[in-house]
Every structure is written in structure tokens, then in C-alpha cells.
Structure 1
Amino acid sequence: MKNVLYFAVSSWLLITTISFSQANETDEIIYTRAFADSDYGHYHVSVLQAALNATSEFGTTSVVPHPHPMSQSRQLASLVKGDADVMWSVTNQTREQKLIPIKLPLLKGFSGHRVLVISPERQSDFHPQLGVNKLKSMTLVQGVDWPDLDILQYNGFTVSGEDWSLWFQSMYFMVEKNLVDGFPRNVIEVHRDLARHSDKAIALEKNHLLQYPSYEYFFVSPQNTALANRLRVGLIRLLENGELSALFEAQEGHKKAASIVESPSRTTHALKNPAIPYVLDYAQWDKYASAAIKALRDEYKPEN
């Protein structure tokens, strides 16, 4: 069965290579970013470059950051205008309508698992028996242009939207000063945040986890179908040869995220996500590589 799948995928890649070989790729692909720090997005940039390296027959291409860090809404606008080529973000319907989504969840769906960052003196308020209705009555904070703000509000949580700030300084200040009860953070990103804000009296809440369908994709400028197709082909090859799994597992934060998600001591509160009309059955692409490859192949859009 594996050999049949490999033959089918390889045959398709041969066809797409022939039809795509005339694509006029530039030497540089510009990606947007929230922060200027070189540590930001290391995994995503590595995957992006690896996908381009895996499709070298389409041209030798390197990735470079946009010179100006910006909020997610400005990143989207930059891609729409053609000022940049690619961004990575949690998806929603608006982003999928305005940009070209590459529907492989870069974080295996972990972006939908949210753990609270709280003031350590408040841990007793989040005891193991705390029900979801009580959680909903507490005040949380999210980025004002994050899809997660709408998701939490849709599920009845009390959430305030905060403007973008350098490494979320304002959000964590609000937590430390008890201006809000908690800051729900992606389980993959939260340990990095805690390390950066080690000077603050903040801590990881120990007993609860919010979970909803949420997928972080690469998004491509709507004017660049060729790049979208190339990334789909490149990601298929990274799935086939195991390089994508290796890149994911190389990140210490990803291992820590798995330990949070799999912890038997946490109560998981399942929420709905109105921002996307589907649930992927291949989000954990290391376990469902065949389905992930088929999805990428089906999303391939021939150029006009």
C-alpha cells in the first residue's frame, strides 16, 4: 500500500513539475513577522526554506523577512497588496478568502490548545474543580486582531482585546498587575513567553486547558499562485522524506507543548470555533501523512 501511495504521489509531482517548471520565481521570498528578533518564527522559517529547497527545480530561492515587524492584520494587508509573499497564522474564513491558504497545520493542531498564564498568587482561584462557567466569568486578554478573541467570545468567555505590543509586554503586564485574570496562550509558544518575561510575577496555570479546532497555516499572497503550488509540492516532499517531522521535533518548545496537552492532571474544556467551517482529520500529520499529502495535492491550483 505504501508503494502504491508513493507511486501515485510521485506521478502527480512529476505532472505538476512539468506544468510548473515555467513558473517565474523570484530569487527571494519575503515573509512577514510580528517581531524583529531573530528567534521569532525560527521553526516556521526553517520549514519555509526547507520546502523551497525541496523544490529546487523551480529555482534557487531564499527567504528574507519584511523589514518592518507588524500586527497580524497589517501582515494580511501586506500580502493582499503584494508587498510581501507569505505569512504564517492561525486560520479563519476571512484569511482563507483574502489569501491563499496552504492547508497543512504547521503545529499539528496544537495552536488550538490554550493554557492560561496567570499571576502565581492566583493559582488557588483555578482549583481542579473549577467549572467552565466560572472560567467564563473571569476576565481574559487576547490580541485585538487574533482569531482567538472571537473564538473565546463566541463561547461565552469574558475577553478584552489588547493592541499588539512588543513580545506581548502589555498583556503580561496586565496579568502581573491583576488587571485581568489570565492570558490564554498557545501551548507551543507559552514557554518561550515565560522565559522572555522571567522578570515578571507570572506563571503557568496548572489545572486547566482550553481546546478548540485551530490550525496554523502558511498563507500566500493572492497574486502568487505559483508560490502556493510550489509550497504544496515542497511540503509533500518534506512529509514523504521525514524532514518535516525532524524539524518539528527539533524544537524544545514543541516537546513541552505535548507534555501539557497529554497531562492527565489537566481538565480540558472543549470549545467550538465559528471561524472555520471544518475539522481536519490529518492535523497530526505525523500520524496521518497519507491524508495530509492527499489534502495538499487536492488543493493544488493549476495556473490560468
Structure 2
Amino acid sequence: MLLRRRILMLATCVLASLAATAGETIVRFPRGANPTDFRYTYPVRILQLALDKTAAEDGPARAVQATEPMTNARIQAEIERGGLIDIANYPPGRDLTQRLQAIPICIRKGILGIRIFIIDRKQAPRFAAVRTLDDLKALSAGQLKDWLDTRVLRANGLQVVTSENYEDLFEMLATGKFDYFPRGVHEPYREVEPRALRFPDLMVEETLALNYPLPDYFFVRKGNTALANRVQRGLERAIADGSFEAAFQKEFGESLRRAKVAQRNIIHLDNPDVGPVPNPDDPKRWLQATRAADEGGKRSNGKSAHSD
């Protein structure tokens, strides 16, 4: 382990040296443990977009992913100490915002807080019968131990079974260790399909969604104001000129269409860990589909949005 760490540090130093020679700043971002883990791809693209938007005054910069996968705890520790990672994206839990500096622009326009489920297809009738939060409390969710969502679900009285390994959650669901795996609305189709041979009975549930405030911000080391200011300026420019929206739609448009959120029974949850978000009514910064679903006669905790 020590030898591996030294090799990684050497590789990082060599890369940074080569970039410096070329007059290019390297900004280091985490990578997933599995080559099929797509969750890290979009944040790197958005980070690179922000860096490109500020290249004229700040110089060329390149977002690169670490050569070694790390746990969330390790990633955050590396950022905090100015180690192998410069920046990563997370929901802004209160403990994290005390340790690291948030760049308060949601890179996924709030869709992490629209949750639909991966389930065993044999359980589909049980989920189709769920109408309220109380109904859902009879079923158990699976989550990673250190995800903010775990705290959100438990704070709303839901049962949660945890794992320390993302990949293990699919096997745990397939073997009945819990009943459903809540995922961001853009995630489950891209998670189920590449695992279909191994877990043929897993499917995306079609009738329910959870909704709670869950922004997705970039975080840097406290005191790293140069990088924080650069990324925030770049994101603001990308939002203003439409390139942010173009990247968002290219990445998530098809998944959002498949999810058909407006046709689902949406159960709203509180998120005690997240305070008010900036510019909540700006459609350039937050997905409006959730609000459209709210106004379209959907059910919330068993009641229509338009019922008395």
C-alpha cells in the first residue's frame, strides 16, 4: 500500500511538472473504482468547461482524474490537506461545508434530489401500491454508509440498510438484503443495463419518486480561493452563454425523458442537512421539471397537489 501510494504521488508530480512546462495548470479530480462507473464523467466535463471559460485571464488548465480510486473519506481528506485531489463534487452537508469550501452552483441543476428506485422486478406490485411516505416506511432502502442521502432517508423515518461499497449494493438488492435502491433520476437506467447479465431481475421502478433538496456543488480546500473563484467565474459564464445547459441536456436529457417524472407519484422528504439554495427560481440553474410535475396533479404523500 505504501509503495502504491508513493508511485501514485510520483506519477502526479510528473504530470504536474509536464503541465507546468507546457504552461498548463492541472486540476486533479477523483475517479470511480469501476471503469463502468459513469458518475464521475459529467463533473469532469463541467469542470473543464469552467476552466476553459476562464483561460483567457487565468491561463490554460486541464481537469484530470486521479489514477487511483479512493473512498469519499479519502477524497475529502486529500482535498482538505492539499494532497492528491484538488476538487470534487458533493451535496453540501453541514459537516462538509465546515471542512471544505463550496462553490455554490449546482452542477446537476438539483436532479440528485429527484430519486427513482432500482428494485427486483418481482417486487414491482408492492411498489405500485405505495401511495404515501408511511406506506414506503414498510420497505427498506439501500445506500452507501457515508452518502448524505442515508441521513436524509433516516431523518424522514425510512429504513436504510448500508454498505461501504457501491458495487455491493446491487448484489445486496438482488439477494433481498433490502427492497429498493434510490438513485438520482439520471442514474438508474445507466446502472441497471450494464449489470443485466449478472442481475437480470433488477429493473427501474416505474410509479414512484422521492424529492428533496440536494444540490451538487464543487468543493475545494478552504483557502484555495484562486481555484474556487476561477471555477465559479467559469460556471457563471457557461450558465450565461448557454453552454452549461447544452452540456446538461446532452448528459441527462434522455434519462430525464425516460424517467417520466410528471407521471410518477412523488413523495416529498425534508433534508435537514441542506439550507436554502441560491437562485431557487432560476431555470438556468435548477431543473423546472420537478415544479412542473408538482403543478400537474401529481400526488404528494398520498394527496394531489391540487386537493384541499
Q: Does structure 1 residue 286 correspond to structure 2 residue 284?
A: yes
Query: Aligned residue for 1:103?
Result: 104
Q: CA deviation at 1:86?
A: 0.3
SS in 2 for 1:150: helix
Query: Aligned residue for 1:148?
Result: 149
Query: Aligned residue for 1:41?
Result: 40
Q: Matched residues in 1 for 2:45 and 2:152: separation? A: 29
Q: Matched residues in 2 for 1:283 and 1:160: separation? A: 35
Q: CA deviation at 1:258?
A: 4.9
What are the superposed Cα offsets for residues 78-123 of structure 1, whole Å, 9 maximum, x if unpaired? 1101111100112211111111111111111110011111100110
Q: TM-score, normalised by structure 1?
A: 0.80
Which letter does structure 2 place at the counterpart of 1:78?
E
Query: Aligned residue for 1:113?
Result: 114
CA contact (8 A) 1:104 1:283 kept: no
Query: Aligned residue for 2:126?
Result: 125
Q: Matched residues in 1 for 2:286 and 2:174: separation? A: 41
SS in 2 for 1:215: coil
Which letter does structure 1 place at the counterpart of 2:151?
D
Q: Matched residues in 2 for 1:282 and 1:141: separation? A: 29
Query: Aligned residue for 2:52?
Result: 53
Q: How does 1:215-234 map to 2 (within 5 A)?
A: 215-234=215-234
Q: Which moved more, 1:266-275 or 1:28-37?
A: 28-37
CA contact (8 A) 2:131 2:265 kept: no
CA contact (8 A) 1:112 1:214 kept: yes
Q: Does structure 1 residue 263 correspond to structure 2 residue 262?
A: yes
Which of 180, 185, 201 pairs up with 2:178? 180
Query: Aligned residue for 1:208?
Result: 208
Q: Matched residues in 2 for 1:278 and 1:284: separation? A: 14
Q: CA deviation at 1:281?
A: 4.0
Specify whether residues 120 and 36 from structure 1 end up closer, same or farther in structure 2 by C-alpha distance, changes over 3 A only.
Answer: closer
Q: Structure 2: which 5+ runs fail to align?
A: 1-22, 288-308
Q: CA deviation at 1:280?
A: 4.2
Q: CA deviation at 1:139?
A: 1.4
Query: Aligned residue for 1:195?
Result: 193
Q: Matched residues in 1 for 2:136 and 2:35: separation? A: 34
Specify whether residues 187 and 284 from structure 1 end up closer, same or farther in structure 2 by C-alpha distance, changes over 3 A only.
Answer: farther
Q: CA deviation at 1:42?
A: 1.9
How many residues end up aligned between the 2 structures?
A: 260
Q: Matched residues in 2 for 1:58 and 1:152: separation? A: 42
Query: Aligned residue for 1:91?
Result: 92
Which letter does structure 2 place at the counterpart of 1:159?
V
Specify whether residues 40 and 81 from structure 1 end up closer, same or farther in structure 2 by C-alpha distance, changes over 3 A only.
Answer: same
Q: CA RMSD in A?
A: 2.1
CA contact (8 A) 2:109 2:286 kept: no
SS in 1 for 2:143: strand
Q: Structure 1: which 5+ runs fail to align?
A: 1-24, 290-304
CA contact (8 A) 2:28 2:63 kept: yes
Q: Matched residues in 1 for 2:187 and 2:253: separation? A: 9
Q: CA deviation at 1:282?
A: 3.0
CA contact (8 A) 1:33 1:87 kept: no
Q: CA deviation at 1:26?
A: 6.8
What percentage of residue pairs aligned between the two structures are identical?
Answer: 27
Q: Which moved more, 1:69-78 or 1:180-189?
A: 69-78
Q: Matched residues in 1 for 2:147 and 2:276: separation? A: 19
Q: Matched residues in 1 for 2:282 and 2:35: separation? A: 29
CA contact (8 A) 1:51 1:231 kept: yes
Which letter does structure 1 place at the counterpart of 2:268?
A
CA contact (8 A) 1:142 1:159 kept: yes
Specify whether residues 261 and 211 from structure 1 end up closer, same or farther in structure 2 by C-alpha distance, changes over 3 A only.
Answer: farther
CA contact (8 A) 1:34 1:72 kept: no
CA contact (8 A) 1:105 1:283 kept: no
Query: Aligned residue for 2:272?
Result: 274
Q: Matched residues in 2 for 1:72 and 1:280: separation? A: 25
What are the superposed Cα offsets for residues 242-274 of structure 1, whole Å, 9 maximum, x if unpaired? 1111111111x443225526332x110000001
Q: TM-score, normalised by structure 2?
A: 0.79
Q: CA deviation at 1:137?
A: 2.1
Q: CA deviation at 1:225?
A: 1.0
SS in 2 for 1:117: strand
Q: CA deviation at 1:210?
A: 0.7
